[in-house]
Structures are given as structure tokens and as C-alpha cells.
């Protein structure tokens, strides 16, 4: 049994033992700002757990987590894999008789988790609030603009634009093995991506340790090798995400699959195109000079890029429509946490296709401006990935892997 006590404490009675627990008031405030403003409406009727496919007798999700949220038990929630496994299908919120919207509360907890696990902390704090949007925009905009200014580049003539495209966006030099534009893009994009990857890996390791502590997974148990971990836990989790198995169990928001699946395949396609372009420009281009120019419209990789861009815009457009409709109907709270990622992804898709269209119609001024905004939006997506809703791509994958690991023979012996 649990009872509120004076001084902001909660006394928990467990097998005749008394344990004092200190609620984190700031954490409750943080959740409310991130969309969990309805959490106090929950009165533990358990309707949410009845309809949630993640719920079980031992884990009445999200009823138990709603109680932890009301009490501000930050450590309990941030080390709970169920919170990350939730994909906010909306069934719990649709059936809640009190309008507590457990799905939104769990989304707010995830936002707090990405901020908590984020490194460096000032970037995580910066990306968590809408009031910081001017700074979030200024960092990549100023960076790319300074790079363009010091490169000595200029907008080409219309007659040359179709042939050279954006291959001389950061200027031109006679060193043919590595074009000047490739050098400049590598100069700021590679460190940005490296920081993002390092922050994500660091965050996942911290989260894994916290989940292990909460689940009572002892360090003395046998551990899988890296190959075994990937084969038995990580790869099956990735496959489940790609198939959207849990999304397809949703009832209230089945149309979210229509947005998430094309968006997922679009990112896979664009990752392939980016990897190919990097390999072609930075490696093959050192031996084959023609690889440095704009990619031919007849190149199959270019087809993949265009199809992926259209799928990206379509997918995020569906999510945009769904989110707007839910907010208009009072089924969701408008939050910076949800919209920031939608805006960034839409910006990447629209500016990417827009830059190509302006090149084809021979408008270098509009083309260069749009390509500049494309580089800014891509840098934003990379830089803020570990701290925004985009981070669920990483954290949820490893939460799924932990779920499998926790129930495996490596833990249970």
C-alpha cells in the first residue's frame, strides 16, 4: 500500500517495511510541458491496461506507469522499457473515461528520457523547448552560411547551372581528387553526424544500465557475445520495427501506419543514396573524375532518391494531418516535442525536391537558396536526433532488444 506523506514525500509499505520516496516535482512539470498535462486526471480505473497490447498481469501498462508519473518517480519511469516500447497507438487514450490520455503522458515521459540521456546536456536542454527554436535554427543556419562565405563561392549563371548543379555550391578548386564542395560538406556534416552517433550510443548505454537495475538484472549473469547480441536480440527487434508489427495491432489510430511505413522506407532509401554519394564523391571520385559532377537524372540511384523524397513528404504529410486532426478534436495536446520533428522532416523533403526542380528549370538564385536551406535542415536532423522525437528510432530499438534479453536464458539462467 502507498500513502502520501507530508513534506512532499510518499511512504510505501512493502511487507511491513517502510520506504521513503521523494517525488521529483520538476519532472512532473517537465512531463506536463511535453504533453502530459492530463496525467493528474487518471484515477487508476485500469481501462488503459485492458486495451493495451503491451499490458500483462505482471506489468499493467500503462496504469502502473501513470501512477509513477503522478508521483514524479523519475528513476522508475526512465528505466522502464515499456515506456519506450509504447508506440502511442492511442487506444488507451481513446477508451480512457477520464480523458487522462495515457498515450500522451507516455510520450511526455519519452521526451523527458531523451533529454535525461542526452549528451551534451546543453544541447538536450536546448532541443526540449519551443522557446529555443530561434537558437536551434541559428546554429545550423549560421554554420552553413559561414562555410559558404569563406569558401568564396558565388551563384552561377543560368546557362551553367543545369550542368554544374550544386557541385560548386562551396566553390571550385583545381584539386580534382576531392571537390571543394565535397570537402566543405564533409567538414561540417561528418563531425555533426559523429556527435549525433556518439550521443545516441552513450545514451543507449546509460539507458540499458538503468533498465537492468530496475529489472534486477545482475552483472553476474552470463552475457551474450556481440555477435550473439545482434543475432538473437538486436536484429529481431529491427525486423519487428520494419514490419510494424505492433503498429498493426492499433485500433484507434490505424492510419498512423500509412504515414510511418512510407516514412521509414524513405529514410532507408535516403540513407542508401547518401552512402552511395559519399562513396562516389569521396572515393570513386579520386579515380573517376566524372563522379564529381551532378548525378544524372537517368541514374537508378537518382530514381531511388526521388522516390524516397516523395515518400518522405507523403509520409510526414500523413502524420501532419493526423496530428492536426487529433489536436483539433481535443484528443492530443499541441507540443513542440511532437511538431519539431515533423517540421524538420518536411523541410528535408521539400527543400531537397525543390532544389532539384529549380536546377531543372534553370533558376540558380532560388536553387542556391533552397539548397542552402536543404543543407540546414539535414544538419538539424543529424544534430538534434538524439534529443528529439527522432531518438525513438534508436531508443525503442534497444528497448525491444532489452525486452528479449531480459526474458532470455542469459538472464533467467
Q: How far is CA 103 from CA 91, 184, 343, 375, in A?
A: 8, 43, 22, 34
The values of phi and psi at residue 184, to 5°, are -65, -40
Residue 161's pLDDT is what? 92
Q: Compute CA 393 distance to the chain's CA centroid, rounded to the nearest angstrom.
A: 5
Residue 150's pLDDT is what? 95
CA atoms within 13 A on the CB side of 198: 8
Predicted confidence pLDDT, tens digits, the chain (413 residues): 444 443 444 444 444 444 556 778 888 888 888 888 898 999 999 999 998 888 888 889 999 999 999 999 998 899 999 999 888 888 888 899 999 999 899 999 999 999 999 999 999 999 999 999 999 999 999 999 999 999 999 999 998 898 888 989 999 888 777 788 889 999 999 999 999 999 999 999 999 999 998 888 865 556 888 999 999 999 999 998 888 777 777 766 666 777 888 899 999 999 898 888 877 766 776 666 666 667 777 888 889 999 999 999 999 999 999 889 888 887 778 889 889 999 999 999 999 999 999 999 999 999 999 999 999 999 999 999 999 999 999 999 999 999 999 888 888 76
Domains annotated on the chain, with CATH: 20-117 (1.10.1060.10), 121-412 (no CATH)
- C-alpha closest to that of 388 among 320, 339, 319, 329: 339
Residue 35's pLDDT is what? 86
Residue 21's pLDDT is what? 64
Q: Which helix (H) or strand (E) holds 17?
A: strand 17-21
Q: How far is CA 236 from CA 8, 121, 269, 324, 407, in A?
A: 43, 32, 21, 33, 14
Q: How far is CA 64 from CA 42, 73, 110, in A?
A: 11, 11, 16
Residue pointed to by grid coordinates 531537397: 352
As beta bridge partners, residue 118 has none
- Please give the Cα distance from 125 to 109 (Å, whole number): 15
Residue 243's pLDDT is what? 84
Per the CB < 8 A criterion, the answer to whether 11 and 26 are in contact is no
Residue 8's pLDDT is what? 45
- Please give the Cα distance from 180 to 171 (Å, whole number): 6
Per the CB < 8 A criterion, the answer to whether 310 and 262 are in contact is no
Amino acid at each position: 500500500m502507498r500513502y502520501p506523506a507530508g513534506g512532499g514525500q510518499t511512504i510505501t509499505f512493502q511487507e511491513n517495511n517502510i520506504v521513503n520516496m521523494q517525488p521529483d516535482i520538476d519532472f512532473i512539470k517537465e512531463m506536463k510541458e511535453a504533453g502530459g498535462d492530463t496525467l493528474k486526471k487518471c484515477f487508476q480505473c485500469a481501462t488503459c491496461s485492458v486495451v493495451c497490447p503491451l499490458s500483462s498481469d505482471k506489468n499493467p501498462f500503462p496504469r502502473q506507469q501513470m501512477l509513477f508519473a503522478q508521483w514524479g518517480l523519475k528513476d522508475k519511469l526512465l528505466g522502464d522499457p515499456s515506456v519506450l516500447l509504447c508506440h502511442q497507438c492511442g487506444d488507451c487514450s481513446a477508451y480512457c473515461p477520464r480523458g487522462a490520455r495515457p498515450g500522451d503522458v507516455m510520450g511526455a515521459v519519452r521526451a523527458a528520457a531523451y533529454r535525461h540521456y542526452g549528451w551534451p546536456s546543453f544541447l538536450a536542454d536546448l532541443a526540449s523547448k519551443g522557446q529555443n527554436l530561434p537558437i536551434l535554427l541559428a546554429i545550423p543556419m549560421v554554420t552553413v552560411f559561414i562555410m559558404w562565405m569563406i569558401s568564396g563561392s558565388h551563384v552561377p549563371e543560368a546557362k551553367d547551372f543545369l550542368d554544374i548543379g550544386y557541385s560548386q555550391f562551396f566553390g571550385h578548386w583545381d584539386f580534382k581528387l576531392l571537390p571543394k564542395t565535397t570537402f566543405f560538406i564533409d567538414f561540417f556534416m561528418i563531425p555533426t553526424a559523429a556527435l549525433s552517433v556518439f550521443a545516441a550510443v552513450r545514451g543507449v548505454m546509460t539507458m540499458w544500465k538503468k533498465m537492468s537495475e530496475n529489472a534486477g538484472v545482475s552483472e553476474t549473469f552470463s552475457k551474450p557475445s556481440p555477435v550473439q547480441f545482434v543475432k538473437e536480440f538486436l536484429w529481431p527487434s529491427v525486423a519487428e520495427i520494419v514490419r510494424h508489427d505492433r503498429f498493426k495491432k492499433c485500433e484507434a489510430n490505424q492510419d498512423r501506419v500509412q504515414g510511418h511505413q512510407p516514412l521509414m522506407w524513405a529514410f532507408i532509401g535516403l540513407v542508401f543514396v547518401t552512402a552511395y554519394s559519399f562513396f562516389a564523391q569521396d572515393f570513386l571520385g579520386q579515380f573517376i573524375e566524372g563522379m564529381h559532377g551532378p548525378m544524372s537524372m537517368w541514374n537508378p540511384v537518382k530514381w531511388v532518391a526521388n522516390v524516397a523524397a516523395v515518400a518522405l513528404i507523403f509520409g510526414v504529410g500523413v502524420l501532419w494531418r493526423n496530428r492536426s486532426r487529433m489536436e483539433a478534436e481535443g484528443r492530443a495536446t499541441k507540443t513542440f516535442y511532437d511538431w519539431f520533428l515533423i517540421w524538420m522532416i518536411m523541410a528535408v523533403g521539400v527543400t531537397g525536391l525543390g532544389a532539384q526542380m529549380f536546377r531543372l528549370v534553370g533558376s540558380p538564385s532560388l536553387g542556391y537558396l533552397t539548397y542552402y536551406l536543404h543543407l540546414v535542415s539535414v544538419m538539424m536532423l543529424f544534430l538534434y536526433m538524439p534529443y528529439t522525437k527522432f531518438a525513438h528510432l534508436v531508443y525503442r530499438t534497444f528497448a525491444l532488444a532489452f525486452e528479449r534479453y531480459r526474458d532470455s536464458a542469459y538472464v533467467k539462467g
